[in-house]
Every structure is written in structure tokens, then in C-alpha cells.
């Protein structure tokens, strides 16, 4: 641990079990959420919307919903998370649409299974809309303050303590501290405590939790400088526009309204690399001043120059941060070099000769709590009602944080209402993959979502998140009623479309006579092979639309045009994509569904909560240790715990078979065998 | 059985019955103390069982009565076969002695289940799965071939080949996934030709491994079936090959009405040799069943010895089969050689003429290639199945790439192939992908 030894924020050690002599003037809340970043916003809104009396505590009520790093929501793997959050009834998609300055469907050339929506955001608008939404939410109170401690009775948190000593009673607590816990900012050799540039760190809470035996570690991340728009020569750059027809994150409602903005692309120069290389001795990364581990997928520019010395240029993107301000975000130029080096290096890039920083780039080290200490509902083990969500769990990204905030709140509500926990499977949602990975795997770096983390990727698509998750959102009571009704109507339309495809015979001539589909010019879309219906289609053939659709070169749009029906106006893009992909990918989709079945077999073999892994001599030493820590819920989860191998799973399974038949849910009868 | 507080297990490790020496083996946490309590003198300084040191000592029962003078060999955990404390008692090979000792030790140890010593070795990480399969194969080896292939598994050599392939597949997958998870600004796309050539190299290995099964399955015993019309001399030839009169012979056609199997050692091969009912249209119900059985055996045969006596027409439809080795029997008959057809081997079971040539031809037919030069020889049906799955997936992967189908589909096939190959050696770790991607590509904005 590299915490400063003198810690002014560490209050009196209130984390003492069994203390009962305190009086609370404040009203009690069902749920207290500490932190108003992306995880906290989602957690607080979901809590209140599910009927919990909820309090959101933030160090500053002026900085709710900040975009501390890039002014964008979504991206590959992340856009899917946003759509899932939306389908469950969460807020992020709605905020991102309303604050969106430029929308792109990434990966459009690579197949719908990996299409990923991303939007540039107006960071001021985003924060303002978030503040507004929280303020308008009935059942939700906001309070400025720094949570420094938790008050425990036995294994329950009964109150949070704010700096200054005020205590607020809570039925459940969700900690969403982001990068603020013992945050330390680095710019060159200069080091200053801070949770984000210009804001103080949160001190006290880490130590209080560590006293409870919760393990705390350090990660680091970084951000690029922001540059004054007025100091940039834009004609040196390539313009990058968004999709002509922006696709919203939110299902069934288009709230995109801001004027769409341009981004810019350019490259670093050999001179840039020289300047950086010559000054490595001044970089806190290379001089060992930064001890935390950073993400390999988000290296600083000095890191890129060192690790990929053979590349003579790296791409940079310039992104607007807001409509109101002049700041531009220099994507690709994350750095913690001294400010003079940052500036000299950036000015070596044509177009930036006169660049003026509005803020320099910096690196930040912060505390995180390895998530293997939590169960898959993000509840801290050994504490009945304390949840953790967001970056302080060892993730990175607004979307990953939001998803955790939402799930933590759903589970806090389930806990308080004595309902079953809400657990999404890896076969159901990226959110399920996220939480499952987080609590099971040892993470070598801050965790970010990739589509390749989802083994059932062909099933988990951005276009069908509503079908996958809205029924759950509705059942939990989070999804708005009108959207649920809309969902049901759409499902009928979907069935109607499938029937139509299965029954309608179309002659090849009707398809041939069509011009190739006018492709809406889409950004990023320079690789897509132009569909050419003339190839290989025997004109005289008449066959069912479903059969035509299986041909790679034909699209559902073309079939719909070949035999138009009035009700086609009810079809929207997501619906068309999801039906088209399900049919085109049918063989693969079917194979993944079968794989899901076999995956579920192990997921359905429960592992008793009280199982004493340490006494299971048939397990390898490492498996005993890891399983005791993680305490998986079922055999499937156990198989994904790092350090556990198939022999261990076999041994566990054998052990389960031999246990006395104490639980009625014993699986012996089903003869469920482990699939690995 | 596996249990929580690990038992100490005991079993006879040599074959039951009278022999020069019988070895009883103990393994588990109490192996050393239990053994010490059964040695004379009890409790004295000399009773410490040193690791790897052989001692000749008096073996006693729990009540102190002497049982046998035995060689005692101890191995301390983790440097033993099972990774636990292990003690071996080398007794005089009397079944009664063994029974007495086991009955005595059973008071404090449990009888091991079949294969439990090896299973413990796997669980303690002393052996990997593929090596354990090698142990079983080695124990069961009935021929030089089986023995040699088992040694390869045991040494981990085969496992390493599979690991190499798995690594190549993960590497290929990382190239494909990198393009799906990162924008074209971050990742230089790998030329399709390179992806295809990497896939082709993996396929080539899988195909050669698959082909090696033809040989590998022989390590479980080769199936050789004698087939011919009634009275072709099948049973007589069988007896000659076995150098023993195992099978009833008679001039009466149709004497053999059911298939009979005998084991034949042929060089480094163990062969199951089948004598069968002669093939003919028959009225007899029993004989008809025998003929049906013959046809089944023909299906599964590694080699068909197709016999024809001089002046018999033979069975032309079988003669076309690749597995067929045509033999002209009764070569000692007058004029027999005049009837010899091209490709037929003339053999006289009576005089022994042609028998060595037949044996050589049979061995040559079974083991055509020099298996010692093969990269890897599959000897387990489970592995063959996985190799087949991987092959299928890789072929689909390449076809989808060539047809420019959506990349996520190709990726799904490739992942499945890697899973199948990984399953041979105990699993593929897909988290390695990110390491591969990040070390190759400069990603991140």
C-alpha cells in the first residue's frame, strides 16, 4: 500500500462492530449511494425508481456526471453495454442521446454482431442533464458531503458517516467512488492529491474499509491535454463526420437534438516522438514514480513511442468537448509528461503549432478494491448490505461503471425487498459477462469490455438488447410502462415479419431489377463490400424470402422493397437488423444456442454457500485458495475462477455427488455432468 | 473416492496370484506413520523411513505378530508418484501374505479405487491429463507399438505438440479479434492471405494427426479378419498363424458357424485375429447369423485376409476393398500355383510355405509408415473426436474468410477450434488473447 502515512481525512475509527450509542438526527434512507459519477447516477436513479428512499451523497453537487476523460459514450463493446442499460430501464442511453454531438456505428464494415454505437458528448450538457434528472426524480435526495466511514452492526452497515461526523442511517449502501479514493495526480515530477484535475481526493473511506480486512490496491490511468479550439489550425486535419443518420442508444425514442459536430484526425510526427523520447527521464511513468498498473489498451503517448519504437507516427483525434466551451480533447495523446514537454510534443504536430492548453494531460493513481472480494451482485463478502460499483472495482470506462451501478442498485433493492438477487448470465448480456469476469478473474489491468470477452457474441448484439433484457427490466419494475407496451407491439411486428419472410415467394427478377441499395454514407464505412445482387442470382428463380435472405449479397431491405406491404412502415432499423442477422447467421446462431445450453448445465449445479473449500484435499492448492475467496455460486462460475482447472471442477462435482442429500435441490437425479 | 480430509489409500500394485514379489503400495498423509507402525522394531530410532532409501525389515501386524521380511521403499511428498507420502512394501509373492497385509492395513487406510494413485498424481499436479492417459496406455500396452506411443504421452511430448497448435490457434484468433475489437485506426488489418495460410498450417497438422489414428488405434489391438467362401481354409490358416490348434477344422464346408477371436503377437503389434463363418447363401439359420456376423467384422477390420482355395471363384466385391489382403490357400495342392491371381499370396498352412511372407505382408499392411517419424500419433478416441471438431471448424473458418462472410462468424469458428484443441490438454485460456493483442498492436486512443 502506498497511502500517504498522514491521512487528514481518516476520521475516528467508527467502523467498529456493535457500537450502539449513536443518535441520528437525520432521516433514514433505504439506500445511500456514495458518489455521483456514472455508476452513482445509475444506482441512485434505479434505487429511487424501484421505490427505495434513496440518498445520493457527492463531494460536490456541482460536479455530478462529469466526463473526466474522453467526451464520448459507447464504443466497441461499450455501446452494447449502454443499449443494455437502456433496455433494463437505466438512464445512460437517454443522457448520451440528449447530449450527443456526433453519432457513429463503429465496426459497420465488420458484421452486425460487432456493430457498436458510439457518440461524442457535450460534457457540460451531459452533466447538466444528469443533475436535472436526479433532481427531478421523486424519492431521491441529493446531499453534498464526503463519506469517510461506515457504521457497522455485526455484518451490516447501518449508517454512513460524513466528514464532520454526521451520520446517515441506511438500509443498504453502494459505494461509487470512481478514481477519488486516495487519488494522486501526476504531471511530470509534480504530484498532488486529487480525485480529478481541480478536485480533492476522497480520503478516509479506503482506510476504514481496509480496517475491515477489505483488500485495497492501486491502479493508474491517464488523460490527454485539452486544447483551446481558437489556437488550432483545423485545415491541417482531416474532417471526421458522424453517421448521416445517427442511431440513438435509446430504444424506441429518438432524443438526439443537438447540432451535430465534426471531429478531426491527424498524426504525430517523428519530431513528436523525438521530443517525447528525449524527455523520458522526466516522465513519472518511466522514473517509477507511478506504482499503479495502467491499462495496456489505453497507453500514454510516451508509452506508445517506447513500446512501438518502429512506428513513426500515431493517430490523433480531436474531439469537441462541448458546444459552449472552446476545449478540444486530443484523443491518442494521453500523457503525464511535464507540461512543457507535452506542449512541445503536441506543437510538433502540424495544425497544433500555436496550440494552447486549457488543461494539461495527467496520470492519476487511485485505490481500487479487487472485485474477487465481492459476489456477482457486487456485494462485498462478509458484509450483508454493502455494495461496490464503478471504477473503484478495477474497471475503466463510463459504460462499465454505469452497468455496475445499475446492477448494484437492482441487487440492493432485491436484498431490501427479500427477493432473489438479479444476476445476468454470460449468455444473456454483456453486463453479465462484465460482472462474471470481474468477480472471477484475476485482472492484470483495469478491466474494459471487449466484444471478444463475450463467448456468445453472435447472440449478444446491440440491435437485440431490448429483446434480451426488456422483459427483465419490466419484471423488476424499472422499465417505463410505455416502452414495455411498445416492446410487446414490436414483438408482434417481429413475428409478423418472420412469418412474411417464411411465406412470401419472391422472384429473382424483382430483386435484380433493383438498383443496389443506396448506401447511406456512413462514417468508418470504407471497407464494406458493396452488395451486388446481380452476382449469381438466377433471375428466374422464385423462392421464399427467407431463402433469399440467406444469400450474403442480399439484404432484408432489398426484399422488403421487392414486395412492399403497407405495414412495413412499422419496422424500425433495430428490428430489421435483428431479424436479418438472426436469419443470415442462422446456422451459427443455432450453434451458439446449443453452446449456451451446455454452458447452462454447469451453471445450474449450485455450490453450497457454506462449502469449505480449504478442507477439500482433492482440489489443487491454488483452486482451494481461489475458490475460498471467490465462493462461486455454481459449478459453471467455479470453472471460470482463475487458477481453477478442469480437474478441480471434476473433483468438486464428485464431491457434490457424495454429499449427504441435505438439500432438496440436489442435482444427483439429473445426472448433470460437468461439460469440461 | 475423493474425500475432504484426504484418506490414506492402500492397494496391491502387482498382479494378483503367486509370484516372486508382490508390491503393496500406501499413499496419503498417514502413509509414513502407518508404515512405521508395521515395522520391527517399533518406535526405535531405526524406524525413520528416509526418502528413496530401500530397507529390508520385518513386517508385522498391528498386534505385533511377524508377517514377512520385506523390502520397504518410502517416498516423501511431494516427490512421489502421487505427490503424497508413499510407501511400498515388496513382499514375497504369496497371495495369502498379501491378503493378510491388506486386511491389517485396511484398519487404518482405505482400499484404493482403480486408477486412484494416478488420479491423485493428476490432482497434485504431478501429471497432466495427457500424461495420465499415457500411464494408463502404458499399463495396458500389449505390444511394442502401444508401449512406445504410451511413452510419448507420458513424456509430455504429445501434449507439447498439442499446446503448440493451441498457441498458434490463439495467436491467429488474436489477429482476428483485434480487428473486431479495435478500429482500423488502431489495428493494421492482417492480410486475408496470411490468415488463410496460418489456418492451412494448423489444418495440415490436424489432418496428419487424424491420419495417425489409423496407426494409433492399432495400439489398442489391430483387428484382422479371415474371410472366404466355406472351405477356403480359414480355420486351418488361423491355427497355423497361431502355431496352435485352437480352432476346430474339418473338410465339411461350414464347420465354423460363429466368429472366433484369438490374440496374435506380430512383431511390435498385438492383433486380434478373427476366424469367421464362410460367406455363402445358406438355408441354415445359425449359419446365416454367422454370415451376418462376418459381414460386421469385415466392416470394422483393419485388414481382411481374403482367402480363396484353388478353383474357388473368390469374393470379388471384397477383393476391391483397400483393407483386403488376398491369399490363395492350400498352395500345396497340385496345380494350385497355376490358379494364382495377381496380387495374391500363396500360402500352405500345412507345409508352412508362404507363412512368413504372409506375416510380413500383414505387418506391412498394418504399419505402412514409420510411425517413429510422425509428429504425433493419436491413440485415444476422445482426442480423435476433438481433432475432428477442430478440423471441421477450421475448414469453415477458411471457407467463410474466402467467401468474405462477416468476420464475427469466422471468429466463432476459430474459437470453437481452439476450444476443441484445448480440451485435449485440459483447456484453452482465452484471456491470453489480450496479451497477444497488446503485445503486437499499438492500441488505445
End-to-end CA distance of chain A: 39
Q: Last residue of a domain, which of A310, A329, A361?
A: A361
Query: Nearest CA to CA, how far is A332 from chain B (Å)?
Result: 4
Q: Please report which confidence band the pLDDT of residue A647 belongs to, taking 50, 70 and 90 as the band edges.
A: confident
DSSP H or E stretch at residue B89: strand B86-92
Per-residue confidence band for A502, with pLDDT thresholds at 50, 70 and 90: very high
Grid look-up 496391491 returns B12
User: Quick one: closest CA in A to B436, which residue?
Assistant: A296
Q: What is the DSSP letter of A417?
A: T
CA A368 – CA A39 distance, rounded (Å): 14
User: Using a CB-CB distance cutoff of 8 angstroms, which residues of chain B are in contact with residue A620?
Assistant: 123-125
Question: Which of B439, B372, B413 lies closest to B147, judged by CA?
Answer: B372
Instruction: Give the best residue of A445, A647, A656, A657 to mutate against chain B (max B CB count within 10 A).
Output: A647
A255 plus A337 within the same structural domain: yes
- pLDDT interval class at A298 (50, 70, 90): confident
A509 vs A487 pLDDT, higher one: A487
Do residues B349 and B355 make contact, with C-beta atoms less than 8 angstroms apart? yes
Q: Find out whether the peptide bond into B41 is cis, omega within 30 degrees of 0.
A: yes
Please report, for the domain that includes residue A617, its CATH number. Answer: 1.10.150.570
Final residue belonging to a domain, choices A318, A345, A361: A361
> Are A620 and B125 inside 8 Å of each other by CB?
yes
Of A178, A169, A170, A185, the closest CA to residue A206 belongs to A178
Q: Does B183 touch chain A (CB under 8 A)?
A: yes
Please provide the average confidence, as pLDDT, over all residues in chain A: 88
Picking from A80, A295, A588 by the largest number of B CB atoms within 10 A of its own CB, the best residue to mutate is A588
Is there a domain that residue A128 lies in?
A: no
Between the alpha carbon of residue A300 and those of residues A192, A265, B161, the distances in Å are 19, 18, 38
In a domain, A532, yes or no: yes
Q: Provide the pLDDT for residue A665.
A: 42
pLDDT of residue B339: 83
Of B3, B186, B412, the CB nearest to A588: B412
> E strands of A333-459, at which residues?
357-359, 362-368, 386-388
Q: Name residues 255-294 of chain B within 8 A of A (Cβ).
A: none
CB < 8 Å from A in window 235-254 of B: none
Residue A618 lies in a domain: yes
More confident residue, B377 or A659: B377
Which region among A36-50, A519-533, A581-595 has the lowest average model confidence (pLDDT)?
A: A519-533
Q: Mark which residues 397-416 of B lie under 8 Å from A by CB.
A: 403-409, 411-412, 415-416
In the structure, what pLDDT confidence band is assigned to residue A662 with cuts at 50, 70 and 90? very low
Q: Tell me, yes or no, whether A357 and A239 share the same domain.
A: yes
A543 lies in the same domain as A610: no
**CB distance A112–B406 less than 8 Å?**
yes
* Sheet of strand B21-27: strand arrangement: B39-40, B54-60, B66-75, B86-92, B21-27, B9-12, B110-111
**What is the model's pLDDT at position A536?**
55
Closest CA of chain B from A456, distance in Å? 9
What pLDDT is recorded for position A509?
81
* Tens digits of residue pLDDT in A422-447: 999 999 999 999 999 999 988 889 99
Q: B412 contacts in A (CB within 8 Å)?
A: 457-458, 588, 591-592
Handedness of CA A635, A640, A646, A651 (dihedral sign): negative
Q: Pick the residue of A316, A446, A618 with the most B CBs within 10 A to test the interface with B by mutation.
A: A618
Segment (H or E) for B241: helix B234-242
CATH of domain B9-127: 3.30.1360.120
Cell of B180: 473486431
Residues of chain B with pLDDT under 50: 1-5
Inspect the interface and report whether the beta carbons of A646 and B1 lie closer than 8 Å. no
Q: Report the residue of chain B nearest A78, measured CA to CA.
A: B181
- Under an 8 A CB cutoff, do B185 and A617 touch? no
Pairing of strands A167-175, A386-388: parallel
* Alpha carbon distance B431, A452 (integer Å): 10
Q: By the CB < 8 Å criterion, does B5 face chain A? A: yes
Q: Are A527 and A621 found together in one domain?
A: no
Asked if A111's CB is within 8 angstroms of B406's CB, the reply is yes
Least trusted range by pLDDT, from A280-284, A287-291, B145-149: B145-149
Option in A106, A332, A552 nearest B405 (CB): A552
Lowest mean pLDDT across A396-410, A473-487, B343-357: B343-357
Instruction: Say yes or no for a CB contact (<8 Å) between B123 and A618.
Output: yes
Question: Which of A141, A128, A150 lies closest to A16, judged by CA?
Answer: A150
Nearest to A297 among B405, B407, B444 (CB): B444
Domain count within chain A: 3
Quickly list DSSP for A84-106: HHHHHT-SHHHHHHHTEEEEEEE
Provide the pLDDT for residue A442: 82
Q: Does B445 touch chain A (CB under 8 A)?
A: yes
Q: Which residues of A touch B416 (CB under 8 A)?
A: 591
| Inter-chain contacts counted by CB atoms under 8 A, chains A and B | 127
Number of helical (H) and strand (E) elements in chain B, helices listed first:
14, 13
Report residue A104 as a C-alpha cell. Answer: 457513429
Task: Decide if A617 and B4 are in contact by the 8 Å CB cutoff.
Answer: yes
Taking CB atoms and an 8 Å limit, are B412 and A458 in contact across chains?
yes
The correct CATH number of B220-366 out of 3.30.1280.10, 3.40.50.720, 3.40.50.300, 3.30.460.10 is 3.40.50.300
Q: Which residues of A touch B6 (CB under 8 A)?
A: 617-618
Query: By the 8 A CB rule, do A373 and A214 touch?
Result: yes
What is the rounded CA–CA span in Å between residue A245 and residue A264?
A: 19
- When CB atoms are compared, the residue of A585, A612, A620 closest to B123 is A620
Cβ distance of B412 and A645 shorter than 8 Å = no
CA angle, A232 then A237 then A240, to 5°: 115
Phi, psi (5° rounding) for residue B294?
-60, -45
Please state, for a pLDDT cut of 90, what percent of chain A lies above it: 70
- The tens digit of pLDDT for each residue in A131-181 reads 999 999 999 999 999 999 999 999 999 999 999 999 999 999 999 999 999
From chain B, pick out residues whose CB is under 8 angstroms from the CB of A651: 2, 123
The average pLDDT across A621-646 equals 84
Give B149→chain A minimum CA distance, Å.
24
* CB contacts, 8 Å: A645 with chain B: 426-427
Task: Give chain A positions within 8 Å (CB) of B125.
Answer: 620
Q: Which domain covers residue A658, as residue numbers?
A: 604-670
CATH code linked to domain B157-215+376-440:
1.20.120.430
Q: Do B2 and A676 touch (CB under 8 A)?
A: no
Q: Each residue of A70-121: pLDDT tens digit?
A: 999 999 999 999 999 999 999 999 999 999 999 999 999 898 999 999 999 9
Rounded to the nearest angstrom, the minimum Cα separation between A616 and chain B is 4
Strand partners, A240: A263
- What number of other Cβ atoms are within 10 A of residue B30's Cβ? 17
Whether A457 and B443 lie within 8 Å, measured CB to CB = no
Q: What is the pLDDT of residue A516?
A: 55
DSSP 8-state assignment for residue B52: T
With an 8 Å Cβ cutoff, are B2 and A111 in contact? no
If pLDDT is split at 50, 70 and 90, which confidence band does A18 have? very low
Which parts of A402-494 are beta strand (E)? Answer: none
Give me the percent of chain A exceeding a pLDDT of 70. 89
Of B209, B230, B421, B403, nearest to B315 by C-alpha is: B230
Closest-CA residue of A relative to B186 is: A315
For residue A169, the model assigns a pLDDT of 94
Query: Does A647 contact B122 at a Cβ distance shorter than 8 Å?
Result: yes
Report the SS3 class of residue A145.
Answer: coil
Chain A residue closest in CA terms to B83: A620
Say whether residue B3 is in contact with chain A using an 8 A CB cutoff: yes
pLDDT tens-digit series, residues A62-82: 999 999 999 999 999 999 999
Q: Give A332's contacts in chain B (Cβ within 8 Å).
A: 444-445
**pLDDT of amino acid A491:** 96
**Interchain contact, A451 vs B405, CB within 8 Å:** no
Q: Where are the domains of chain B?
A: 9-127, 157-215+376-440, 220-366
Tens of pLDDT along B123-143? 777 777 677 777 777 777 777
Most A CBs within 10 Å, among B31, B406, B427, B429, to test the A interface: B406
Winning range, highest mean pLDDT, from A290-299, A407-416, A498-507, B295-304: A407-416
Q: Is residue A291 part of a domain?
A: yes
CB contact under 8 A, A618 and B415: no
Q: Is there a contact between A114 and B408 if contact means CB atoms under 8 Å apart?
A: yes
Q: What's the pLDDT score for residue B150?
A: 73
Least confident of A20-34, A363-377, A406-420, A598-612: A20-34
A111, A265, A296 member nearest B408 (Cβ)? A111
Of B4, B179, B443, the CB nearest to A615: B4
Whether residue B78 has a cis bond before it, omega within 30° of 0: yes
Bridging pattern class, strands A147-153 and B345-346: unpaired
Q: Does B115 touch chain A (CB under 8 A)?
A: no
- Residue A344 sits in the same domain as residue A254: yes
The verdict on A338 and A285 lying in the same domain is: yes
CATH number at residue A355: 2.40.30.260
Residue of A nearest to B116 (CA): A618
Structural domain includes residue A239: yes
Q: How far is B102 from chain A (nearest CA, A)?
A: 24
- A104, part of any domain: no
Amino acid at each position: 500500500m502506498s497511502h500517504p502515512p498522514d491521512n487528514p481525512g481518516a476520521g475516528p475509527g467508527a467502523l467498529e462492530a456493535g457500537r450502539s450509542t449513536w443518535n441520528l438526527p437525520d432521516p433514514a434512507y433505504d439506500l445511500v449511494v456514495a458518489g455521483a459519477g456514472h455508476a452513482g447516477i445509475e444506482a441512485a436513479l434505479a434505487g429511487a425508481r424501484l421505490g427505495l428512499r434513496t440518498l445520493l451523497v457527492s463531494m460536490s453537487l456541482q460536479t455530478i456526471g462529469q466526463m473526466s476523460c474522453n467526451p464520448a459514450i459507447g464504443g466497441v463493446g461499450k455501446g452494447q453495454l449502454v443499449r443494455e442499460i437502456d433496455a433494463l430501464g437505466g438512464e445512460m442511453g437517454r443522457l448520451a442521446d440528449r447530449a450527443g454531438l456526433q453519432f457513429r456505428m463503429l465496426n459497420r464494415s465488420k458484421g452486425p454482431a460487432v456493430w457498436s454505437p458510439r457518440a461524442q458528448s457535450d460534457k457540460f450538457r451531459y452533466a447538466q442533464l444528469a443533475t436535472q434528472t436526479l433532481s427531478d426524480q421523486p424519492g431521491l435526495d441529493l446531499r453534498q458531503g464526503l463519506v469517510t466511514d461506515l457504521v457497522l452492526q455485526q455484518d451490516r452497515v447501518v449508517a454512513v458517516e460524513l466528514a464532520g461526523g454526521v451520520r446517515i442511517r441506511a438500509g443498504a449502501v453502494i459505494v461509487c467512488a470512481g478514481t477519488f479514493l486516495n487519488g494522486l495526480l501526476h504531471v511530470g515530477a509534480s504530484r498532488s492529491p486529487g480525485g480529478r484535475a481541480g478536485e480533492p481526493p476522497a480520503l478516509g473511506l479506503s482506510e476504514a474499509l481496509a480496517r475491515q480486512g477489505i483488500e485495497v490496491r492501486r491502479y493508474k490511468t491517464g488523460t490527454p491535454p485539452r486544447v483551446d479550439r481558437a489556437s488550432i489550425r483545423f485545415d491541417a486535419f482531416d474532417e471526421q463526420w458522424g453517421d448521416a443518420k445517427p442511431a440513438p442508444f435509446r430504444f424506441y425514442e429518438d432524443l438526439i437534438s443537438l447540432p451535430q459536430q465534426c471531429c478531426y484526425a491527424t498524426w504525430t510526427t517523428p519530431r513528436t516522438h523525438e521530443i517525447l523520447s528525449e524527455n523520458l527521464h522526466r516522465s513519472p511513468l518511466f522514473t517509477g514514480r507511478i506504482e499503479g498498473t495502467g491499462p495496456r489498451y489505453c497507453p500514454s503517448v510516451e508509452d506508445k513511442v517506447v513500446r512501438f519504437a518502429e512506428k513513426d507516427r500515431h493517430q490523433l483525434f480531436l474531439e469537441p468537448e462541448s458546444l459552449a466551451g472552446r476545449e478540444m480533447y486530443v484523443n491518442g495523446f494521453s500523457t503525464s509528461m511535464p507540461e512543457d514537454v507535452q506542449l512541445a510534443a503536441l506543437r510538433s504536430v502540424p495544425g497544433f503549432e500555436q496550440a494552447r492548453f486549457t488543461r494539461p494531460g495527467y496520470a492519476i493513481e487511485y485505490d481500487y478494491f479487487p472485485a474477487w472480494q465481492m459476489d456477482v451482485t457486487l456485494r462485498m463478502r462478509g458484509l450483508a448490505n454493502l455494495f461496490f460499483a464503478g471504477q473503484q472495482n478495477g474497471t475503466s470506462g463510463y459504460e462499465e461503471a454505469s452497468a455496475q451501478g445499475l446492477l448494484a442498485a437492482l441487487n440492493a433493492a432485491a436484498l431490501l425487498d427479500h427477493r432473489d438477487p438479479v444476476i445476468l448470465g454470460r449468455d444473456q448480456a454483456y453486463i453479465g459477462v462484465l460482472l462474471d469476469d470481474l468477480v472471477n478473474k484475476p485482472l492484470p489491468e483495469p478491466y474494459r469490455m471487449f466484444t471478444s470477452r463475450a463467448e456468445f457474441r453472435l447472440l449478444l448484439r446491440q440491435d437485440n438488447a431490448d429483446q434480451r433484457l426488456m422483459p427483465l427490466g419490466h419484471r423488476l419494475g424499472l422499465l417505463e410502462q410505455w416502452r414495455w407496451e411498445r416492446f410487446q407491439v414490436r414483438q408482434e411486428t417481429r413475428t409478423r415479419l418472420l412469418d412474411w419472410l417464411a411465406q412470401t415467394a419472391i422472384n429473382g427478377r424483382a430483386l435484380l431489377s433493383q438498383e443496389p441499395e443506396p448506401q447511406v454514407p456512413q462514417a468508418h464505412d470504407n471497407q464494406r463490400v458493396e452488395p451486388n445482387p446481380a452476382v449469381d442470382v438466377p433471375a428466374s428463380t422464385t423462392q421464399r424470402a427467407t431463402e433469399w435472405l440467406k444469400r450474403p449479397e442480399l439484404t432484408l431491405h432489398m426484399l422488403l422493397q421487392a414486395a412492399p406491404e403497407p405495414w412495413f412502415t412499422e419496422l424500425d432499423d433495430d428490428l430489421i437488423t435483428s431479424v436479418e442477422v438472426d436469419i443470415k447467421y442462422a446456422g451459427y446462431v443455432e450453434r451458439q444456442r446449443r453452446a449456451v445450453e451446455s454452458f447452462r448445465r454447469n451453471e445450474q449445479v449450485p455450490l453450497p454457500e457454506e462449502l469449505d473449500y480449504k478442507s477439500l484435499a482433492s482440489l489443487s492448492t491454488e483452486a482451494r485458495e481461489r475458490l475460498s475467496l471467490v465462493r462461486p455460486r455454481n459449478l459453471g462460475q467455479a470453472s471460470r475462477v482463475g487458477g481453477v482447472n478442469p480437474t478441480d471442477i471434476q473433483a468438486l462435482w464428485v464431491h457434490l455427488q457424495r454429499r449427504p442429500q441435505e438439500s432438496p435441490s440436489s442435482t444427483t437425479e439429473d445426472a448433470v455432468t460437468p461439460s469440461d | 473416492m475423493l474425500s475432504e480430509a484426504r484418506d490414506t489409500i492402500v492397494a496391491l500394485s502387482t498382479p494378483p496370484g503367486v509370484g516372486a514379489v508382490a508390491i503393496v503400495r500406501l499413499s496419503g498423509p498417514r502413509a509414513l506413520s502407518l508404515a512405521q507402525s508395521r515395522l520391527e522394531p517399533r518406535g526405535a530410532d531405526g524406524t525413520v523411513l528416509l526418502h528413496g532409501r530401500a530397507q529390508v525389515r520385518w513386517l508385522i501386524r498391528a498386534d505385533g505378530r511377524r508377517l514377512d521380511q520385506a523390502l520397504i521403499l518410502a517416498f516423501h511428498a511431494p516427490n512421489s508418484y502421487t505427490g503424497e507420502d508413499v510407501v511400498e512394501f515388496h513382499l514375497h509373492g504369496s497371495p495369502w501374505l498379501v491378503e493378510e497385509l491388506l486386511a491389517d492395513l485396511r484398519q487404518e487406510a482405505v482400499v484404493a479405487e482403480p486408477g486412484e494413485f494416478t488420479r491423485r498424481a493428476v490432482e497434485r499436479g504431478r501429471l497432466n491429463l495427457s500424461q495420465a492417459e499415457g500411464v494408463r496406455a502404458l499399463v495396458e500396452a500389449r505390444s511394442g507399438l502401444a508401449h512406445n506411443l504410451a511413452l510419448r504421452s507420458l513424456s509430455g511430448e504429445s501434449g507439447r505438440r498439442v499446446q503448440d497448435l493451441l498457441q498458434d490457434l490463439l495467436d491467429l484468433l488474436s489477429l482476428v479479434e483485434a480487428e473486431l475489437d479495435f478500429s482500423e485506426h488502431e489495428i493494421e488489418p492482417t492480410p486475408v492471405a496470411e490468415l488463410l495460410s496460418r489456418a492451412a498450417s494448423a489444418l495440415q497438422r490436424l489432418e496428419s494427426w487424424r491420419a495417425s489414428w489409423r496407426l494409433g488405434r492399432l495400439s489398442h489391438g489391430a483387428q484382422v479378419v479371415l474371410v472366404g467362401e466355406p472351405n477356403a481354409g480359414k480355420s486351418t490358416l488361423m491355427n497355423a498363424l497361431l502355431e496352435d490348434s485352437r480352432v476346430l477344422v474339418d473338410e465339411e464346408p461350414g464347420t465354423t458357424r460363429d466368429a472366433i477371436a484369438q490374440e496374435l503377437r506380430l512383431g511390435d503389434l498385438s492383433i486380434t485375429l478373427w476366424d469367421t463363418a464362410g460367406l455363402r447363401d445358406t438355408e441354415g439359420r445359425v449359419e446365416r447369423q454367422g454370415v451376418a456376423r462376418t459381414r460386421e467384422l469385415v466392416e470394422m477390420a483393419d485388414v481382411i485376409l481374403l482367402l480363396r482355395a484353388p478353383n474357388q471363384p473368390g469374393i470379388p466385391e471384397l477383393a476391391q476393398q483397400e483393407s483386403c489382403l488376398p491369399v490363395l490357400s492350400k498352395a500345396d495342392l497340385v496345380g494350385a500355383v497355376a490358379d494364382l491371381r495377381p496380387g495374391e499370396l500363396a500360402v500352405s498352412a500345412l507345409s508352412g510355405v508362404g507363412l512368413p511372407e504372409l506375416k510380413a505382408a500383414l505387418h506391412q499392411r498394418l504399419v505402412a509408415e514409420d510411425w517413429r517419424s510422425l509428429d504425433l500419433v493419436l491413440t485415444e478416441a476422445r482426442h480423435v473426436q476433438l481433432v475432428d471438431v477442430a478440423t471441421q471448424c477450421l475448414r469453415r473458418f477458411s471457407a467463410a474468410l474466402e467467401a468474405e462472410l462477416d468476420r464475427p462468424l469466422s471468429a466463432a469458428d476459430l474459437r470453437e477450434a481452439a476450444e476443441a484443441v484445448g480440451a485435449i490438454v485440459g483447456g484453452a485460456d482465452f484471456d491470453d488473447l489480450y496479451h497477444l493483442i497488446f503485445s503486437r498492436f499499438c492500441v488505445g486512443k
